[in-house]
Structure 1
Amino acid sequence: MTDTRNTIDAAKTWRRRELAKLALGAGIAASVGPWISRHAAASGVVKVYAWSDYIYQDMIESFTKETGLDIELSKYGSNDEVFNKLKASGGKGFDLVMPTTNEGTQWYDAGGLLQPLDESKVNIDAIYPSIYEQSVDLGGTYRGKRYILPFNWGTEGITYDSEAFKTSYGELSMGDLWRPEMVGKATVRQKSALIAIGRTLDAEGKLQSNGMLDAYKDEETSRKIFEQILPIAIEWKKNVKKFWNSADDTYNAFNQDGCVIGLTWDGPGIKLGQTTNGRIKYLMPKEGGFAWLDGMSIPTGAENVEGAYAFINHMYRADMGASMANQAGYNSVVAEAVNLLKPEAKTAFEAAYPAGAVDNLWWWPIITPWFNPVRAEYVEKYTAA
């Protein structure tokens, strides 16, 4: 609990320089009340198009009770699905959508699908400041205007068997995946492994890649970096017992295949901990875990814009953030939501993200059209070697 409070208190002291940069004005209040009353006059139905496991019935009922607005909820299962639907309709049909932040480039390149957001209408103070700040460079803004606000996030970190491998936060490293004693005992996802190896080499001063961010800079630079990573990745491949591509693969790696350590999603890592009485643990490496960020946006064809803002602010309530996290297993961007988590979820969160860990996350950069084909080429070479 102390670590969580330290993280939140530290976050509240941040100077909010991104707010000034985006000219949000000085009238943003920190309390919840003004955000409810400001939008109480909005009426009708708010049409929300969300990921299939993000919005739950208790969240809808709370919103309707608080605002008098009804929610018409539609669900999707991929970024391509929501993007293609909005592109086909010219940005019409919904009042709020939830794109992944680093996918913003395709929305902006398509033009006219999302409208710039008036952040003076949004309770920005509810968000972890470090996550809000990171979202600017991850694709949440375009040409100085905000189009995607943070909603929830998840990570890819280190899952390990604490009886076979002793470590702690601040000591645990991505480099531990490649230790000599881990030969035949690790599980990784290929595309993440290449980036993780690059980050390990960079941290050790053996690769100049700006923490692997330069691999996303341009195709020529990316290829030069991957060419340096590939032979080392092939050499270290002897440590990999199993490549995973799903949560079930991760469970099997530890429960059936004898893996001791892995670079895994947070969900399976945390669940493994719960099913082994804490023997298997999920923790952020000292280099910072990989992180993804999904958001909230208002399409250009929204018919109930004020209702959409009311929905956004309702989602920025601590109880709504906790409700989503408790039911979906993802992490809310609302800093105070952690204090309302169910005991088992709160314990898992605090264990995975000790004080300072959220601020130290490595967010997946903006995806440009050329990057995925380049990475896929090197993933194929790595897998086939």
Structure 2
Amino acid sequence: MTKIKNSSQSTGVAAKEFNRRTLIKRGAALAAFAPVAPMFVKNAFAATSGEVNVLMWGEYLPDSVLADFKAKTGITVNHTKIGDNGEIIAKMKAGGGAGFDLASPTNMRALQWENLGVLAPFDMNKISNIGNVNPGMVAVGERDWNFGGKGSHWVPQLWGTESISWRTDKWTPDGLPSFGDLWEPNPGIDGAFMMGRTYSMMTGCGIWMHHQGKMDFWSSYKDEDTMRKNWETITEYCIAKKGNLVKFWSGADPQKQGFTSDGVVVGQTWDGPIVSMMKAGEPVAYQTTEEGALAWVDGITLSAKAENIDEAYELINYSFTPEVGGQTINEIGYNSAVIGASDFYSDETKAISQAVYPGDTASKLNAWPPEPPWFADARAEYANKFETA
């Protein structure tokens, strides 16, 4: 496997190997790249309330970024932090979108938002920096989030993956890790050792079974009968292995705590939290699996009851600059949808990225398929069976 080394020399070598060609290969796994457009320029003629209310994943707006945005625009960001897509939907449904100007759902959730009536289409003429953004990812909004033919209701912000992470002082996979290492680790581990988000670890189990030839897991997204047949098998297996479970997680911090204080050895996690731990020198690693990590894109949506619209567009345009994209990733450990953000990655960020996606593995990611409401409801049913068993 590719290992993270601590020496400044190895970091420098890896950073040199991380070039624009590397980023193009990674972006191509999700979408194509395009040239960079003009930088952020504050709209000096727009009246401002002085604030914008954002419902967004907890770590996506680092303090340094918020301070810089306020210094440049005078606008305060009121950030309501969330850790799950279901939480975003619930908060937006509660008031029909009232109380928030922007929210940040994940790309494959479009079908669950379409009929809620809580989002407004973007005026793309007001997103002056949209040309800075990966066009293939922008096209996801134009295709999947074009509700009622009124235009895109979603623009991409960050992308990331979900894969296997581990304590490097307690276990090392035999080559690239597998989603199966969460359930039957190779080499073996005694006692309870694993953690995951309930439905995510079950999804990883299904992908592992798919690669073993035990089911056609991806057909689960096509119709409910096939889904239930596959998930009955997955649920039965996961319940049988529940004795290995240390904890279920929801959100970034519980993933970190699993490794630092809860006794977890192997987990299925997001890339961002574990990469940030790697940067802090913690004995952990994160790497794509031999089956291909699950990939997703988190975006930005405009509330149908947004009150601070000019301020919302100011924040979007600010976020869509290469400098801000790079600064954000250096702090939180995911990947930016902004073209040229990698030019502002630190050497450490570049080196860790090389280790997380060695060789051509970044071109073999599994894009998380669109999830219709019936799928989400049925999956919650099986996840509950696993949790309560």
Distance 1:354 1:43, change over 3 A: farther
How far residue 165 of structure 1 moved from its aligned partner, in angstroms, is 2.2
* SS class of match (2:302): coil
Residues 194 and 267 in structure 2, CA contact (< 8 A), matched pair in contact too: yes
- 1:206-217 → structure 2 map (5 Å cutoff): 206-210=214-218, 214-217=219-222
- 1:140-159 → structure 2 map (5 Å cutoff): 140-142=145-147, 145-159=151-165
> What's 1:221 paired with?
226
> What's 2:206 paired with?
198
Deviations 1:327-352 (A, max 9, x none): 44444322432332344444434432
- 1:28-39 → structure 2 map (5 Å cutoff): 30-33=36-39, 36=41, 39=43
Residues 130 and 359 in structure 1, CA contact (< 8 A), matched pair in contact too: no
- 1:174-253 → structure 2 map (5 Å cutoff): 174-177=179-182, 178-179=184-185, 181-184=187-190, 186-189=193-196, 190-210=198-218, 214-237=219-242, 240-245=244-249, 250=255
1:65 and 1:90 map into 2 onto residues whose CA distance is 32
Distance 1:314 1:271, change over 3 A: closer
> What's 1:3 paired with?
18
Residues 173 and 187 in structure 2, CA contact (< 8 A), matched pair in contact too: no
> What's 2:8 paired with?
none
1:43 and 1:252 map into 2 onto residues whose CA distance is 43
Corresponding letter in the other structure for 1:221: T
The partner residue of 1:165 within 148, 158, 172 is: 172
Distance 1:305 1:15, change over 3 A: same
| Count of residue correspondences | 364
Residues 29 and 365 in structure 2, CA contact (< 8 A), matched pair in contact too: no
2:332 and 2:180 map into 1 onto residues whose CA distance is 30
Distance 1:91 1:141, change over 3 A: same
The partner residue of 1:293 within 276, 297, 300 is: 297
How far residue 230 of structure 1 moved from its aligned partner, in angstroms, is 3.1
* SS class of match (1:370): helix
Residues 4 and 350 in structure 1, CA contact (< 8 A), matched pair in contact too: no
* SS class of match (1:220): helix
Residues 321 and 338 in structure 2, CA contact (< 8 A), matched pair in contact too: yes
Deviations 1:47-86 (A, max 9, x none): 52222543356545655666xx542422223466765666
1:11 and 1:328 map into 2 onto residues whose CA distance is 18
* SS class of match (2:373): coil
1:122 and 1:282 map into 2 onto residues whose CA distance is 36
Q: Does 1:108 align with 2:114?
A: yes
The partner residue of 2:366 within 344, 362, 374 is: 362
Corresponding letter in the other structure for 1:226: W
The partner residue of 1:283 within 281, 284, 287 is: 287
1:201 and 1:4 map into 2 onto residues whose CA distance is 35
* SS class of match (1:8): helix
TM-score, normalised to structure 1's length?
0.74
Residues 11 and 128 in structure 1, CA contact (< 8 A), matched pair in contact too: no
> What's 2:380 paired with?
376
Distance 1:91 1:194, change over 3 A: closer
Residues 140 and 149 in structure 1, CA contact (< 8 A), matched pair in contact too: no
| Farther-moved stretch of structure 1 (283-292 vs 265-274) | 265-274
Distance 1:352 1:218, change over 3 A: same
Distance 1:302 1:197, change over 3 A: closer
1:165 and 1:232 map into 2 onto residues whose CA distance is 24
Residues 182 and 260 in structure 1, CA contact (< 8 A), matched pair in contact too: no
Distance 1:112 1:130, change over 3 A: closer
1:81 and 1:261 map into 2 onto residues whose CA distance is 26
Distance 1:176 1:82, change over 3 A: closer
**Structure 2: runs of 5+ lacking an equivalent:** 1-14
How far residue 267 of structure 1 moved from its aligned partner, in angstroms, is 4.2
| Farther-moved stretch of structure 1 (300-309 vs 314-323) | 300-309
- RMSD (CA atoms): 4.1
Residues 48 and 97 in structure 1, CA contact (< 8 A), matched pair in contact too: no
Residues 131 and 359 in structure 1, CA contact (< 8 A), matched pair in contact too: no
Distance 1:328 1:252, change over 3 A: closer
Q: Does 1:263 align with 2:268?
A: yes
How far residue 109 of structure 1 moved from its aligned partner, in angstroms, is 0.8
* SS class of match (2:292): coil
How far residue 195 of structure 1 moved from its aligned partner, in angstroms, is 0.9
Residues 315 and 321 in structure 1, CA contact (< 8 A), matched pair in contact too: yes
How far residue 234 of structure 1 moved from its aligned partner, in angstroms, is 4.3
Corresponding letter in the other structure for 1:7: T
1:205 and 1:166 map into 2 onto residues whose CA distance is 22
